[in-house]
A and B are shown apart, each in its own frame.
Chain A
Amino acid sequence: MDLIRSWSQILFSRDLVVGGLLLVASLLDPWVGLHGLLAALVARAVAAALGLAPLVVGEGLFGYNAVLFGLGVGAMLPHGTWSEALLFAGSALTVVLTAALRDNGLRTGLPTLSAPFLIALWLVWSASPELVQPVPGPDRGLPEPVALGLRALGALLFVPRVEAGALVLLALLRWSRQGTVLGAAGVLAAWAVIEAVPVPLDPSQATLLALNLGLVSVALGGVWFVPSWASLALGAGAAGLTALVSLGAAPVAARLGLPLAIAPFHVGVWAVLLAMRQRAEDRSPRSVDFLPGTPEENLQYYRTRLARFGARYDVRFRAPVRGTWVVTQGRGDGPTHRNEWEHALDLEVADADGRLARDEGTTAEQHLCWHLPVVACADGVVAKVIDGVPDNPLGQVDLDDNWGNVVVLWHAPGLHSLVAHLSPRTIAVVEGQRVKTGEVLGLCGSSGRSPRPHLHWQLQATPQVGAPTLPLELHDVVDAAKGEVRGTWTPTTDDRLRNLVPGEVDLGLPPGTEATFEEDGRPVVIRSEIDPWGRRVLVCGDGRTYHGLHDDLFVVYDTLAPPGSPLHVLHAALARLPLEDGERSPTWSDHLPPRTLVPPWLRPLQDAVAPFVPLEGLHVRYRRVPGDRAVIEGRSDRERGGVPVLTTRAVLAPGVGLIEASQTLRGVTRTLRRRVP
């Protein structure tokens, strides 16, 4: 299987059908195709000998460069023993280079693409006595741009023929409809360049130009950036850049005697990716900062992530306090939260009648938030501590040390949080100390510009005390007034908030175990794993559900599975689950990705238009039904005929975990029941 996947990875895919189509396409020139196969076998043997991670090898990620190299050798080197020897040596080299560059790629974030293939090809090119250029096949009566495109697709496999190209086109369509559209745009751009250039290009040069531009358009329009109008524009611009590189480097390459092949594509992609990193804000087009999939998957993931999390930051912020507090000064409010310090919160504790102090309320100690613990809002490192500023008597302020006693935490580059007005000699952390979410930093006091005890909290870009504020967000925190868990929330004055309290609710699917469910009498095995990249996954057959498990929340990030997979039922029923106990559990809501909810025949059309048309996911409200077992019911907002489009139900039993998950989508019910031994 990994042999076929080595072919499909040429198109960034792991689909066996894609790989199969590409294999067949390459075999249209049997000599070329066989060399590709041979190279793949050599690569597999070398990978095994080197002891490379079987999981990665199984994905075909160490084989695709070898396949390309083998195809290139078969197409361009003369038949002979020396060529076969170079094939073996070169294939082995591609594996080594892929492994070496993967490590670099993971660190710098630049994709390896097919650089190992290019390097190996150039080396054998120099080592080989004579070379043959593959001759592009005839047009077969197709219009010029179409023939150019198909030949270019075939040229990807060193079989620049329209027939091969048609098979590659099928593979491309299978992989991604949006990708095909992007590729076609790139080919059109190439055709325009070819028509515009005063010097006529020879056919193989033209074909290669189309291939490079097509690949650049796909890569930048949909794989490394979320597909949208802006990414399409970026792809077009990058295609132009690549055309320049292609045409400009051609004579240089010719003098060096090296084939340009898909080098311009690499140069274009790397240059643009590096340049886009320097942007002030990652927007329009939005880069794929998650695991890249097909353009469809990227778009869907990004859109639902935006709807579900809508977060500016990768760091998830909880409230910096324990229990329920009230916001007494919100964004842009009051005398102090203005201008550069607009995005800040003042928090205090109020009793059931709304009073902020008990008894007469005439001293600082009588205020309800006096000396209450202040905790870290997210994991981080203590960047700055200021201690020793005395608490003010009630009504007085200290304008000299106006932030009072302060703790600044570093959470991510350019992202810090600050808590101020703490009580002197209560700060429990030191600079440089690592803290986790919920750990005590100090006690609430009334130091600095604080007429009465309260907590001031803000996010900022630098560790400087009093730096301008960044927009504030709280994630997965309970809006106590509404009794609702808010995925992303910026509270305002008079809002009451609290963190979720980690409870005993448990799905009973610890990593490294398997659970057998039943759907319509058929067994369904779901395995819980942590993949080599440290991500939690639920695996069922060919499908995977990536999820996060925090102390107080279980949340599904994405489900990559065939349409009928039981994982979609799990996803719908348990999209987000607060792990809090208690009868008075808050409600919550989530968005489900639209792709899985569209009937299969409509999907290709939806895929093609999705980047350009806003398509919302399905908004579902969840609540926990009080009782012995944890029963979670979900209900979509959208209705049809008075009945919700989607209802879900999940049941968790104490000591066992998830025992039932079901969804009813447009009247069709699917139920998973756990087989308990």
Chain B
Amino acid sequence: MTRRPYERPIIVRHESGLGNKLSRVPALRPQEEIDGVSVEELVKTYGSPLFVFSEQTLVQRQRALADAFAVRWPKVRTAWSYKTNYLDGICRVLHREGAWAEVVSEMELDKALHNGVRPDHIHFNGPFKPESALEKAFRGGTLVHLDNFDELRRAEQVATRLGKRPGVAIRLSVAAEGIPPWTRFGFHLESGQARDAVRRLLAGDKLDLVGLHCHLGTFLLDPAAYREAAGKLAAFAEELRTEHGIRLQFIDIGGGFASHNALKAQYLPAEQATPSFEQYADAVCDGLRALQGPPKELPTLVLETGRAIVDDAGYLITTVHATRRLPDGRRGVVLDAGVNVLFTAWWYRHDVVPTRHLAGIPEPTVLYGPLCMNIDVVRDALPLPPVEAGDRLVLRNVGAYNVTQWMQFITLRPAVVMVGRNGQHGLLRKPETLEALTSWEEVPEWI
């Protein structure tokens, strides 16, 4: 008979808010399977920790976004934000649904081309575009969004050298009430810098202005900011049309839609705080109402949504490695996944769900990762019934940024898999091996 680990009994004071005849005890509904495939089977096949993506959710979210805007604007284009998740499998699912690509570096541009995206179906943003990147872009007809005057000059030189006259957009930095302005990107609208940029572009006569781009921020919970920004973009577009005769092909309102995560300092849970796609669409299209006319004369509305599409589709399965009792009474749980793989734990209160019904009363628990670093905290004060070593926990809404921003630190990065719409599952990324790691290293001969 195996000896069970000893745990000192503790007296827990029952506080108000627990069940009485007028309320119910909040219970955690366990998640035993993801899209019909059991969690245990996934762990047995691919190991733990494990990132799991649901193709069904991905497609549903992409379609919900496209549909919400399609009923409000005649020509809508979604451009998948590669930096949010550039695993080939994820990108190809979205491209299959008709999404273009939105890239912010030469590496991402190459990756998009490697995924079979047509070069002229790519929007290229970002403050850092070396000449080689611009050349690659202009050769293929990629739409470059100019960020600053130096880039404008560089783009003109490259275009002249190639003998091409590419269509480009300019990024605008727009002040909207209630959100911190991101003035480090683009040309400022209110100060007149954007107007100067247009005049400079027209005077140079080497590039064609075909679009406007504005990316307000990240995880914006108030759609009103989009209404204001879209209104300013529409007014600027009208100004371009009346003063310079420019008819824009597209207006890109960027990304920044919130997903169903809750920020650490956020009071309301995500279900209540996160606006729906319809609310964002209402705000954006209402802001653009100054642009009138038949569909042929309206610019295409480009969306660079990232996290709002993929976050909900990503899960992280992790295993409890050890438990401890902290002196202040909280439980501590050591998991095999920490901030090394879950970068977004810095700012979200991720949903944590067990995979079996846990008996017992929830008590304040801290979730730690496997690193021996003090900062490796996944959740700080999570009410959780007692778990044992070997229990699995599923962290939800982790699809965005984690598999691009994760660190190979102290541990090897785990596998990433996708569960298909018919219960099939397969690798999106193999787990890292030491061989792969050391294959990058070289030792100079004097050592």
Contact = CB atoms under 8 A, between A and B. Distances in A.
Please indicate whether A and B come from the same complex rather than being unrelated chains.
yes
Interface of A: 321-325, 349, 351-352, 358, 368-369, 371-373, 375, 428, 436-440, 498-499, 501-502, 551-552, 582-584, 628, 654-655
Candidate in A323, A358, A440 with the most chain B CB atoms within 10 angstroms: A323
Contacts of B97: 583
Interface in B23-75: 60, 63-64, 67, 70-75
B109 to A, nearest CB: 18
Interface string B266-280: 000000000010100
Contact of A439 (B63, B75, B118, B292): B292
Contacts of A552: 295
Given A582-B98, A628-B118, A321 B71 contact: yes
Contact of B282 (A371, A436, A628): A371
B96 interface: yes
12 contacts: A321-B71, A323-B70, A352-B64, A358-B276, A368-B278, A373-B72, A440-B289, A499-B74, A551-B295, A552-B295, A583-B98, A654-B118
A551 B70 contact: no
B15 to A, nearest CB: 32
Given A324-B67, A358-B278, A582-B98, A501 B74 contact: yes
A499 B72 CA distance: 13
Nearest to B75: A501
Interface of B: 60, 63-64, 67, 70-75, 96-98, 118, 120, 141, 276, 278, 282, 285, 289, 292-296
A40 to B, nearest CB: 47
Contacts of B71: 321-325, 349, 368-369, 372-373
A437 B294 contact: yes
A324 B70 contact: yes
A350 to B, nearest CB: 10
Contacts of A439: 292-294
Q: Is the interface of A mostly helix, strand, loop or mixed?
A: loop
Given A438-B294, A551-B295, A583-B98, A502 B75 contact: yes
A271 B70 CA distance: 54
A375 B75 CA distance: 14
A372 B72 contact: yes
A551 B278 contact: no
Nearest to B118: A628
Given A349-B71, A372-B71, A436 B98 contact: no
Nearest to A552: B295
B72 A322 contact: yes
A542 B285 CA distance: 50
A364 B278 CA distance: 14
Contacts, number: 70
Contacts of A352: 60, 63-64
Contacts of A551: 294-296
A551 B73 CA distance: 16
Contacts of A373: 71-72, 285
A428 B289 CA distance: 10
A375 B73 CA distance: 11
A323 B281 CA distance: 13
Nearest to B96: A583
B73 A436 contact: no
Nearest to A501: B75
Nearest to A371: B282
- 9 pairs of A and B residues whose beta carbons are closest in the complex: A323-B71, A323-B70, A436-B294, A438-B295, A551-B296, A438-B294, A582-B98, A372-B71, A583-B98
Contact of B74 (A324, A428, A438): A438
A669 to B, nearest CB: 30
Given A323-B70, A324-B70, A502 B295 contact: yes
Given A349-B71, A351-B64, A438-B295, 19 more contacts: A321-B71, A323-B70, A352-B63, A368-B71, A368-B278, A369-B71, A372-B72, A373-B72, A428-B292, A437-B295, A440-B289, A498-B70, A501-B74, A502-B74, A551-B294, A551-B296, A582-B98, A583-B98, A654-B120
A628 B119 CA distance: 11
Given A373-B72, A438-B74, A323 B67 contact: yes
A323 B69 CA distance: 8
Given A323-B70, A358-B278, A502 B98 contact: no
Candidate in B60, B118, B285, B294 with the most chain A CB atoms within 10 angstroms: B294
Candidate in B64, B73, B293, B295 with the most chain A CB atoms within 10 angstroms: B295
Nearest to B291: A440
A655 B292 CA distance: 28
Given A438-B294, A551-B295, A322 B60 contact: no
A391 B294 CA distance: 27
Candidate in B96, B118, B278 with the most chain A CB atoms within 10 angstroms: B278
Candidate in A349, A499, A502 with the most chain B CB atoms within 10 angstroms: A502
A582 B118 CA distance: 12
A170 to B, nearest CB: 51
Candidate in A368, A438, A628 with the most chain B CB atoms within 10 angstroms: A438
Contacts of A502: 74-75, 295-296
Contacts of A324: 67, 70-71
